Chains A and B, each alone.
Chain A
């Protein structure tokens, strides 16, 4: 039997931690296509992903789990759908420091509406320790306004356990849906 390939997508705004999350669990040095940022941001990040991030995990039997990080800027949104085709699921990362993180969530839930509606998405909200507002209820309200529902949890994607938590929740959700 030929080796299988599985795909997980990490998406979110610039600085939300997609590259970090992938590097946290990838067994290879992640391939990034970072360039100098041309857009102003309110963080210290000087580069951003212009195309995509890529990492991978080798599974028994030669199977592979491929990890893709989408470019953060909305002008690359045509790539989001292409990347998500055939994916096991999508991890949406939101940065609570951003000027309007709820609008960010709205944008990504709308872009990945089919994936979210199929219970194949999980949302991780970062930097809630330093920026507690908006709270998670506000995020859930945004999802509900769009007629969607998804697991939304606080994370620090620099911590491997937090990234694994996102994947575990995603997997449990898919398993419950398929049952």
Chain B
């Protein structure tokens, strides 16, 4: 962590507080004097802050302000004076977004690489392989063996035949890292043999993203990036919660980082990661460099229609199962 443009007394307070909270954060943090840091607490009106923000795309900038409306565009916010609990929460949020080291691996061509064994040591091996197969052209079908689990993937029909039913727990198992996988082309005569369940390909990909490792993004997604949705997911066909609708409504309008989105929506980073992963597996995500000129995601709740929508949702029992 570092600070930029803060008065000396504010920087000293920050250093002291960091010493105090370090025992309670998920990672250990140290204060460095140079601008090259994971997190920079900055004075938004400082010219030094503005210049540094333009130069350091890899650093997470946090505006230290008394009034949230004074935050610099494109930064997250922490209130002045800093409370220990706020600093702990902020650092833990940043930790969770930094936990993924993205290996450069191109899976898009996987569909054409039949009879391939993959050791699956990377994160999300099944999900990424399945998505690669989903992009295959033509009528070819594939067997995807994931541990003891076998599925027949029909890219042209956008369906997957499962040889045994898979529930939410099963999805989590399939989405775990380290699942050994192999892929081979499926002869046409063997399709649909012993099928227990047929699922839509996008529905399965969505579930693998949602129930996979929530602490990290897919290998192809850079941690320090802003994301935007190309379009709304087909919520009529995939499992969803009100939080997913809320995240989608924001991300189709405005790009945002995982951290900003989590803070704006009041959700754990892990939930946002899972949503972004699910959208990415369904080819709905655009990746953008963090642009400090863009407006930070709004945190204030909308006032004009919030009341009537809340009432209608309550009266009509949105979310009830019957």
Residues of A within 8 A of B (CB): 4, 6, 25, 57-60, 63, 65, 88, 119, 124, 132, 136, 140, 149, 151-156, 161-162, 164-165, 167-169, 171-179
Residues of B within 8 A of A (CB): 158, 230-232, 234-237, 242, 245-246, 248-250, 252-253, 298, 300-306, 308-309, 311-313, 315-316, 318, 321
Chain B nearest CB, measured from A142 CB (Å): 12
Which among A57, A119, A168 is the interface contact of B242 at CB below 8 angstroms?
A168
- Interchain CB contact under 8 A, A88 and B305: yes
CA distance A179 to B245 in the complex (A): 15
CA distance A119 to B316 in the complex (A): 22
Q: Which of B237, B242, B301, B303 is most buried by chain A, counting CB atoms within 10 A of its CB? A: B237
Question: Given the complex, which residues of B lie within 8 Å of A162, measured CB to CB?
Answer: 236
Which among A156, A169, A174 is the interface contact of B232 at CB below 8 angstroms?
A169
Chain A nearest CB, measured from B309 CB (Å): 4
- Interchain CB contact under 8 A, A175 and B235: no
Q: 11 interchain pairs (CB within 8 A)?
A: A6-B308, A57-B312, A88-B305, A167-B316, A169-B249, A171-B312, A171-B313, A172-B248, A174-B305, A177-B253, A179-B298
- Interchain CB contact under 8 A, A175 and B316: no
Q: Identify whether the interface residues of B are mostly helix, strand, loop, or mixed.
A: loop
Which among A152, A165, A175 is the interface contact of B249 at CB below 8 angstroms?
A175
Top 10 closest A-B pairs, CB basis? Answer: A154-B236, A176-B249, A151-B232, A153-B236, A172-B249, A178-B302, A171-B309, A179-B302, A172-B245, A179-B298
- Interchain CB contact under 8 A, A169 and B316: no
- Interchain CB contact under 8 A, B236 and A179: no
- Interchain CB contact under 8 A, A25 and B316: yes
Chain A nearest CB, measured from B93 CB (Å): 21
Q: Which residue of chain A is the closest to B233 with respect to CB atoms?
A: A153
- Interchain CB contact under 8 A, B237 and A154: yes
